[in-house]
Chains A and B, each alone.
Chain A
């Protein structure tokens, strides 16, 4: 079972449809205790990093507990930013901190927000990107992005390079919207669903 966390940061209709297309049913847990039996957790989100304040406290602890017992975690857009230590968009608010690094505003030398289709430059093999052709473009809409680190499996450049796909042990993240990135995006969702499948 995969849980899609609704913490009020944007509409989740498209994300649900993306998982449905990948052949997975997702549940939207009403309480952090509902995460006790899930194999996968999806943290979506659009908008300001301050929205992730709703994940502080019991949700944060329940997600960390789920990781401890082997569940997989997938952050999308703002959800990926939250996986890091924090963001300059709301400097006093800590992220989940399961990945090293911070999120910073994209340089103003090009238009910000970064909206539209841009290429994923893959750095190393990744479970999330299995079957996704090199040079694939994905749909972005954001102003902040995470530093490129050892956990970065794909880099995208908009004025400066940033981490567009991250992967470390059970933790996955994408800065773009896989549910809006055509067949390649659905393939990534399918890959996450497969990773979460107990028989995989």
Chain B
């Protein structure tokens, strides 16, 4: 049976992880490669590196980060943040990313999805959707959530799939950073509307939240950052918790 994936997100700026990390034994807690190694040992299923600044300087550091992380990590690696043009995707993929995540640029020019899928295959193209509840709907926002895109999450996810997206990374802006749980209603609405996998993001705070999003939320994967930093064994403990509750997960030795 296909496992539900747990994905760790590393927010990086100028080559350093910016969120608080408390792993013992890491010489440089902000070193993405050291953190990635740690997650790999713990049994994380996939990594996302998100360039939170996406400035020119940061972009150069990003390529070095991707190279360092992918050199010794043999699980899928996605890269997002500031992928605006095919050249940005090319730089990330040449450096070792398996997937690129596009958000604002795809809203501005949806044909970007098709061009990237044509070049690298759909499996390499993740469309990130930032959605917020508004007047009883799930409205899509662009530019790090600052601008209403004038689209609905379900319709946009369907269009992204039709244009060649391989996965949807769906973030609830209402829940992001709250640790109040994923927005299961949003996630289920999108996940049942498309055939491609949906990665739920935003709101992870407890192990129960993951159980909820994999059951009620119909998510194929769940992404989190800070919750995996709580303890050194958060990933393996979470997998044991889910397995005991009949959620299929990948167990590593």
* Pair from one complex: yes
Check A113–B196 contact: CB distance below 8 A. Answer: yes
Q: A115-B167, A118-B2 are in contact. Are A13 and B93 (CB under 8 A)?
A: yes
Q: List 23 A-B contacts (CB under 8 A).
A: A10-B124, A11-B93, A13-B70, A13-B96, A14-B70, A17-B70, A18-B74, A21-B72, A21-B74, A46-B120, A47-B123, A111-B197, A113-B166, A113-B196, A115-B167, A116-B4, A116-B221, A117-B45, A117-B250, A118-B1, A118-B2, A142-B123, A182-B40
Residues of A within 8 A of B (CB): 9-11, 13-14, 17-18, 21, 46-47, 108, 110-119, 133, 137, 139, 141-142, 157-158, 179-183, 185-186
Return the chain A residue nearest B71 by Cβ: A17
A189 to chain B, nearest CB (A): 9
Return the chain B residue nearest A142 by Cβ: B123
Check A137–B197 contact: CB distance below 8 A. Answer: no
A90 to chain B, nearest CB (A): 15
Alpha-carbon distance A181/B46, docked complex (angstroms): 10
Alpha-carbon distance A180/B124, docked complex (angstroms): 13
Return the chain A residue nearest B117 by Cβ: A47
Chain B binding surface SS class: loop
Partner of A180, one of B72, B74, B95, B167: B74
Q: Which residues of B contact A117 (CB under 8 A)?
A: 2-3, 5, 45, 250
Residues of B within 8 A of A (CB): 1-5, 40, 45, 70-72, 74-76, 93-96, 98, 120-124, 166-167, 195-197, 220-221, 250, 252-253
A190 to chain B, nearest CB (A): 12
Check A14–B1 contact: CB distance below 8 A. Answer: no
Q: Which residues of A contact B5 (CB under 8 A)?
A: 116-117
Q: Which residues of A contact B220 (CB under 8 A)?
A: 111, 115-116
Q: Which residues of B contact A21 (CB under 8 A)?
A: 72, 74
Partner of A137, one of B3, B76, B195: B3
8 closest Cβ contacts across the A-B interface?
Answer: A47-B121, A46-B121, A141-B123, A117-B250, A117-B3, A137-B250, A115-B197, A118-B2
Q: A10-B120, A137-B3 are in contact. Are A115 and B166 (CB under 8 A)?
A: yes
Check A158–B94 contact: CB distance below 8 A. Answer: no
Check B195–A111 contact: CB distance below 8 A. Answer: yes
Check B74–A116 contact: CB distance below 8 A. Answer: no
Alpha-carbon distance A31/B98, docked complex (angstroms): 27
Check B124–A11 contact: CB distance below 8 A. Answer: yes
Check A11–B120 contact: CB distance below 8 A. Answer: yes
Check B123–A115 contact: CB distance below 8 A. Answer: yes
Alpha-carbon distance A116/B2, docked complex (angstroms): 7
Check A180–B75 contact: CB distance below 8 A. Answer: yes
Check A17–B121 contact: CB distance below 8 A. Answer: no
Q: A46-B121, A46-B123 are in contact. Are A114 and B2 (CB under 8 A)?
A: yes
Q: A118-B2, A137-B3, A182-B252 are in contact. Are A10 and B76 (CB under 8 A)?
A: no
Partner of B74, one of A10, A119, A137, A185: A185
